[in-house]
Amino acid sequence: MKVVSLADFQEFSGEKLKKHNLFQTSRFFCDVYCFEPGQEQKGHVHADQDKVYMVLDGQGTFRVGDQEQVLGPGQGTLAPAGEEHGVVNHSSVRLRVLVFMAPNPS
């Protein structure tokens, strides 16, 4: 049995958002995304995959389709398949987000 601690996934990069894989199968993946202030995940679409974002630390601006909202710790949102989505760390502190996506696109 694989056991992880979210506290272990806090490595950031000054160049671009850092992705840490927690779990992955042929059916899904679960990552922690680490954003420095000002970093973003540009808007993109997954035709056949649903994605869930849950904020662990910090605040970010989350966009799904034509809606945009600031989310903080303990808050999350769903980006359904076919909807453009993205994240911006608009704040002056680091942002960590738990990400779950199914089915796995790889």
pLDDT at site 104: 86
Does the residue 70 lie in any domain? yes
Counted domains in the chain: 1
pLDDT at site 24: 96
Does the residue 69 lie in any domain? yes
pLDDT at site 47: 95
CA–CA gap between residue 88 and residue 38 (Å, rounded): 7
**Structural domain that includes position 80:** 48-84
Does the residue 103 lie in any domain? no
Mean pLDDT by 10 residues, the chain (106 residues): 96 97 96 98 97 98 98 98 98 98 88
Model confidence, pTM: 0.95
Does the residue 66 lie in any domain? yes
pLDDT at site 105: 79
Does the residue 63 lie in any domain? yes
Does the residue 11 lie in any domain? no
Tell me 13's DSSP state: -
